[in-house]
Chain A
């Protein structure tokens, strides 16, 4: 039986951490993820967890401490946001290439500058090529559930990659919602013990981790990492299936909503999915065939699944909550467009960059996107591809 409660997304993740009781939590505070180590520090001070809670002097150090702990054979976790993630940048790559299953709660916040504390995805999108698995939550329940699945995915012998569990800063991290929690013992049983094959503290088998890799070896290790990321797709699905069996809630690589006959669709990540769902419900009543793909796993990127879901669609708006500065669209657009390249009939596609630095995206904004998609369908003309939405302008903008 699940336990009905109400809490913020930060508390939900901290609560999941308490239930899992990792060996090491290395933390440095940054808004809006600060509450996660704050709640956990209280658990540690109250003796509710046996975790080694390490207060470090920077995020570079928190990731370094996690790396050392994971190499030693421990379950190591941390939490951060925005510039904190950016400050970990060097170590993110080292942890991934050393194939250490560290778990990072990433509470998405705009990357400085200009300095801003509100939500967008520029922090984790900046780290998208670091070799970390990235799973995104729409709401507090998903943040909790994704966190419970994280270690099973990351520690799997076919994967052995670090994992980021992302949620939208303030929107999910601070908003209090109803939530279903699971009993401690059921969580512990689901997570299981971490038993790495090789680790530094095993005196029987001495080991060196993260050595210098000369030219004749580097590429082979990168291919291993790429293979592990490909393997992660199946493992994410298998763990989700086990999770559903244990707790009853269903997860996949993507979630489709009303896509079965959708003519116009949006592809997006995170909390905006709730807004889009409300808009779709309204427009469906009006007879408009609209749908949504919510990407849960951005790394690995579910290219085949997205292509399959969009193959009958006529017009698609990819919603990017970060500006990639490619001059032709954001990262989610680039990846989604790439995913569709094998389709016999590729739908008309546009990119909508929105919500930067916490700029609000309302139901009527999503409605404007759908209206534009239907206009494209009607005129049989794609028009401009790379659009921004929500900015003040002295010109008439497309959206």
Chain B
């Protein structure tokens, strides 16, 4: 039985890691927080949003959740702050600010 990702961390000895770094289970990227790479952050302004949903498919990190045909706020655990959504939004419903600065 292959060892599960939750049982492997930066303290795991080499003997107990999966062979060749294989990762067991589906969608394990959800558990890996990559949002900390971000230096700029998109900010969602719902009052300007027309729910055209142009932003969601352009997001390269699937960090704009869409449920029942409507987008919600950003998934900041995985958004890397590339700014594509800000560029693509036709309605100024997305601001782009420096990480750490208030919107």
Known: A220-B12, A220-B14. A213 touches B19 (CB 8 A): no
Question: Which of chain B's residues 60-100 have a Cβ closer than 8 Å to chain A?
Answer: none
Q: Is the CB of A217 within 8 A of B2?
A: no
Asked if B22 lies at the interface with its beta carbon under 8 angstroms from chain A, I say: yes
Whether B21 and A216, one on each chain, are in contact in the complex, defined by CB atoms closer than 8 angstroms, is: no
Interface residues of B in 1-44 (CB under 8 A from A): 2, 10, 12-14, 17, 19-26, 28
Contact partner, A217, options B21, B25, B28, Cβ 8 Å: B21
Q: Assess the B14–A224 pair: CB atoms within 8 A.
A: yes
Chain-B contact segment, one of A47-55, A200-208, A335-343, A357-365: A200-208
- Chain B hits for A220, CB < 8 A: 12-14, 17
Contact status of A221 and B24, CB under 8 A, knowing A205-B2, A216-B10: no
Closest to B16 in A: A220
Q: Is the CB of A207 within 8 A of B14?
A: no
* Partner among A99, A100, A206 whose Cβ is within 8 Å of the Cβ of B24: A206
Q: A213: which B residues are within 8 A, CB to CB?
A: 21
A208: chain B residues at CB < 8 Å are 22-23, 28
- Determine which of B14, B21, B23 lies in contact with A223 in the assembled complex, contact meaning CB atoms within 8 Å: B14
> Which of B20, B21, B22, B25: most chain A CB closer than 10 A?
B20
In the complex formed, the residue of A with least CB distance to B23 is A208
Check if A209 is an interface residue, CB within 8 A of chain B. yes
Q: Once the chains are docked, how many angstroms separate the CA of A216 from the CA of B9? A: 9
Q: CB within 8 A of A99: which of B10, B19, B25?
A: B19
Contact A197 B2 (CB under 8 A): yes
Contacts of B12 in A (CB 8 A): 220
Query: CA separation between A219 and B10, bound complex, in Å?
Result: 11
Instruction: Mark contacts of A156-167 with chain B using CB atoms, 8 A cut-off: 1 yes-contact digit, 0 otherwise.
Output: 000010000000
Chain B residues near A81 (CB-CB < 8 A): none
A97 located at the interface, meaning its Cβ lies under 8 Å from any Cβ of chain B in the complex: yes
B14 contact set on A, CB distance < 8 A: 219-221, 223-224, 227
For the complex formed, measure the closest distance between the CB of B78 and the CB atoms of chain A, giving whole angstroms. Answer: 15
Q: How many residues of chain A are within 8 Å of chain B by beta carbon? A: 23
Nearest opposing residue in chain B for A209, CB measure: B22
Asked whether any CB of chain B lies closer than 8 Å to the CB of A198, the reply is yes
With both chains docked as a complex, state the minimum distance between the C-beta of A130 and any C-beta of chain B, in angstroms: 14
Which A-chain residue is minimally distant from B25 (CB atoms)? A206
Chain B nearest CB from A208 CB (Å) reads: 4
Closest to B5 in A: A208
Interface string of A218-239 (1 = CB under 8 A from B): 0111011001000000000000
Contact A207 B23 (CB under 8 A): yes
B2 touches A224 (CB 8 A): no
Smallest distance from the beta carbon of B80 to chain A beta carbons, Å?
A: 14
- Min Cβ gap A100→B in Å is 8
A210 in the interface (beta carbon within 8 A): yes
Establish whether residues B21 and A221, one from each chain, have CB atoms under 8 Å apart when the complex forms: yes
A217 pairs with B23, CB closer than 8 A: no
B25 neighbours in A (Cβ, 8 Å)? 205-207
Task: Given the known inter-chain contacts A205-B2, A220-B12, A223-B14, please indicate yes or no for A198 contacting B21, CB distance below 8 A.
Answer: no
Query: Assuming the A-B contacts A221-B14, A224-B14, are A160 and B19 also in contact, with contact meaning beta carbons closer than 8 angstroms in the complex?
Result: yes
- A100 to B10, alpha carbons, bound, how many Å? 24
- In angstroms, Cα B23 to Cα A220, docked, is 15
Interface residues of A in 67-93 (CB under 8 A from B): none
Nearest 7 CB-CB pairs, A to B? A99-B20, A220-B14, A208-B23, A206-B26, A216-B10, A223-B14, A98-B20
With A224-B14, A227-B14 already in contact, 16 other A-B pairs whose C-beta atoms are closer than 8 Å? A99-B19, A99-B20, A205-B2, A206-B24, A207-B2, A207-B25, A208-B22, A208-B23, A208-B28, A209-B20, A210-B21, A217-B10, A220-B14, A220-B17, A221-B20, A224-B17
Task: Mark B residues whose CB is within 8 Å of A.
Answer: 2, 10, 12-14, 17, 19-26, 28
Q: Can you report 14 residue pairs joining A to B where beta carbons are below 8 Å apart?
A: A99-B19, A198-B2, A205-B24, A206-B24, A206-B25, A207-B2, A207-B22, A208-B23, A208-B28, A209-B20, A210-B21, A211-B23, A220-B12, A221-B14
